[in-house]
Structure 1
Amino acid sequence: MSAPGITVIGSINLDLVAHCPKLPEPGETILGDDFSISPGGKGGNQALAARLLGAEVSFIGCIGADDHATAATALLRQAGVNMDQCRISTSHPTGVALIAVSADGENQIVVAPGANFALGEADIPPQIDTALIGQLEIPVPALTAAVDRCPGLKVLNLAPACELPDALLAQADLLIVNETEAAFYGQDKLLGFNKRVALTLGGEGAVMFHAGHEVARARPPKVDVLDTVGAGDAFVAAITLALLEGRGDQAALEFACVVGALATTKEGAQTGLPDRDAVETLLGKEGGQ
C-alpha cells in the first residue's frame, strides 16, 4: 500500500529554548539552566511528525533569506519533506520562538512570526491533491485559500486561537483544539458543525466528537515526561495519518495519544518526534498488557 500523501501549510520557526526550575510569573526573572537552538514552528513540527510516521509530505510556508532559515528547515529536508512550495522572503526574517521549559516539562512560548506572516494567497497552488493540515501561525487568507483548493481530507489545528470565519471552520473535516483553545471558541461553535472535533487534554489524553456527540476517548501511555513542546503537533500529524490509513475514530485517537506521549520523552519540538517503529513498539507493549 502506498504511503498517504499530506500537505502541511503552516509556520517554520527557529526555537530558542531555555530550561528553568519553574516558569516565571508576570514580571519575574528566573535563572535558567540549559539553552538550546532547534527547528520548530507548528507547521514544520507537524510536517516532520507526519513524515517520520510514514506519510509522503509536502510543505507550504515562508522563510527568510537568512541563516536561521537553514537551521529551521534542516530536519525537514533531511527527512525528505518536499519543500518546493516553501517561499523565501527577502524582506522578512525567519520566524523565531522564545520558549521556556520548566523542570516538570511544562512550557511558555512567545512567537515572533517574521516571514510566516508574509505567506499570501498567491503562494498557494491551484489545487492540493493530498490531505491538508493547517494551523493558525500563518495569515488566515493563505490558509483559507489552501482549504478552498483541497478536495481531500482537511484538518485544522486551531492554534493559536484567533477569530475565524465560520465558513472556514465548516469546510474542515477535523478540528483539533486543546482545552484553552476550546474555551476560546466555545462548545456551541465547535460542536455545532457536522464534523469531527478532537479535544486534547494533556496528560489525560483526548476525546473525539462527531456532530456534537462523543465517539471516542483515549488516554496516553505512562511515559517519563521531559519536554512537552511539540507533543500537540505530533498528535495532529498522527491522527491525520491514522484516519488516512483507514483507522476508526477510537483506533486513530489511541494511535495519536501514543505518538503525542512519545514526543514528550525527548527534548525539542522536532528532535523529540518519534518515528513509526517507536510508535508501533509502544503500541505493541500497550496491547500486550
Structure 2
Amino acid sequence: MIYVVGSVNLDYVAHVQKLPRPGETVLGSELRKTPGGKGANQALAARRAGAAVRLVACIGRDDDGIAATASLAESGVDLTSVQKCDMPTGVALIQIDAAAENSIAVLPGANSCLSAGVVRDALSGLKAGNTVILQQEVPQEATRTAIEMARAAGAFSVLNVAPVLPESASLACLADMVIANETEFQAIFGQTPTAEAAQEWCQTTGRRLALTLGADGAILAGGDAPRHIRPPKITPVDTVGAGDTFVGYLAAGLHAHMAPEQALDVAIRASAQACLYSGAQSAIPWIDQISVQNLSR
C-alpha cells in the first residue's frame, strides 16, 4: 500500500498569451475548473502507475470538494482517510501561457485542517513495506509526523519539497528519498543543482535524491554514482501536473521493487506523456498508455 499525505485542491486554470509581470494585466482566452492539489495529483499518478493507494487529506463540505475528488474515486484511489472540515476546499489559481509555462498561487483552505492527529489516526496501520508520499502544501507538523511514523514502522518515505517552506531542509534529512527541482534544490541546500552536488548531499545525509531538470530529465543520486536520464523529445501542450506525475510514478516504481534507474526512466516517460495533454489529473497517464513509440528518444 502507498499512503499519500497531502493536499486536495480544485484548480482554476486560466490560459493567457503570456504570464503577467508584477503590476501587469493580461487578457486570457479560457478558464477551466479541474481537480488538483499536489497530494491528490501524486496519489492519482501512483494509482495509475499500478499501485494500491490511500489518500490522507482534508476537503471542505462543498461542491469543490466533490469535484476535487471525483477523478480519484473513479480511478480507484482509497478515500476513506479523506476527512471533511468546515473550511472551504483548497484552491489553486493557475495561469498557463502560449509556451505552456505556468505560474501557480495556492489558497490552502481545508488543507490547513490536516493536523498531526489526523495523520496519526490515518497511518495507525502503517507497516514495513508500505510507502508514504509527502509534499508541502499541508501543515509542516502533519508532514513531520508522517515521516516519523514511516521511519518507526520501517516504511519508505518520499518527500517532494514543493513548495519550499522553513522546515524543508530539516524534513529532507529525515525522508528516505527527496524529490526536488532545480530551484527547490538551490533554495534548500544552497548549492548549484548539479549531479555532483546532489551526490554530495546524499553521501552526507545517507538519503537518496531525485533532482528534476525539466526538459533535461532527472538525476537520481545516492547510489554508487548519480544517474542522469533524459526525457523523450516532445512538444509540450501543458506542463501543469508533470512534476506530480513524476513523483507518483517514481514512488510507485520503487514500491514495486523496480531497479532505481528503471523506475526513474518510467517516471520521466510518464511525466513527458502528461505534458502532451491539458490539465493536471486529466493528463496523468495509466501505465499502459505510456507509449514507447510515441515517446521515442
If the length of structure 1 is used for normalisation, what is the TM-score?
Answer: 0.92
Pair 1:273-2:284 in alignment: yes
Closer/same/farther in 2, CA of residues 159 and 283 from structure 1, 3 Å limit? farther
SS, match of residue 33 in structure 1: strand
Pair 1:263-2:274 in alignment: yes
SS, match of residue 160 in structure 1: coil
Whole-angstrom distance in 2 between the partners of 1:16 and 1:248: 38
Write out aligned runs for 1:3-42 (5 A). Answer: 5-42=1-38
If the length of structure 2 is used for normalisation, what is the TM-score?
Answer: 0.90
Structure 1 residue 204: Cα displacement: 0.6
Closer/same/farther in 2, CA of residues 159 and 214 from structure 1, 3 Å limit? farther
Whole-angstrom distance in 2 between the partners of 1:95 and 1:284: 35
Number of the residue aligned with 2:112: 117
| CA RMSD in angstroms, aligned pairs only | 1.8
Structure 1 residue 206: Cα displacement: 0.4
* Contact persistence 1:65–1:89 (CA under 8 A): yes
Instruction: Report which stretch shifted further, 56-65 or 245-254.
Output: 245-254
Whole-angstrom distance in 1 between the partners of 2:293 and 2:211: 21
Pair 1:282-2:292 in alignment: yes
Closer/same/farther in 2, CA of residues 96 and 166 from structure 1, 3 Å limit? closer
Whole-angstrom distance in 2 between the partners of 1:273 and 1:172: 25
Residue-by-residue CA offset, 1:56-103 (whole Å, 9 max, x unaligned): 00000100111110000110011111111111002x110000000011
Pair 1:128-2:147 in alignment: no
Q: Give the paired residue count.
A: 280
Number of the residue aligned with 2:84: 88
Letter in 1 for 2:91: V
SS, match of residue 268 in structure 1: coil
Closer/same/farther in 2, CA of residues 24 and 214 from structure 1, 3 Å limit? farther
Structure 1 residue 11: Cα displacement: 0.3
* Contact persistence 1:15–1:97 (CA under 8 A): yes
Structure 1 residue 285: Cα displacement: 6.5
Closer/same/farther in 2, CA of residues 285 and 236 from structure 1, 3 Å limit? closer
Write out aligned runs for 1:89-104 (5 A). Answer: 89-90=85-86, 92-104=87-99
Number of the residue aligned with 1:159: 162
Number of the residue aligned with 1:204: 216
Structure 1 residue 108: Cα displacement: 0.2
Whole-angstrom distance in 1 between the partners of 2:242 and 2:271: 5
Number of the residue aligned with 1:171: 174
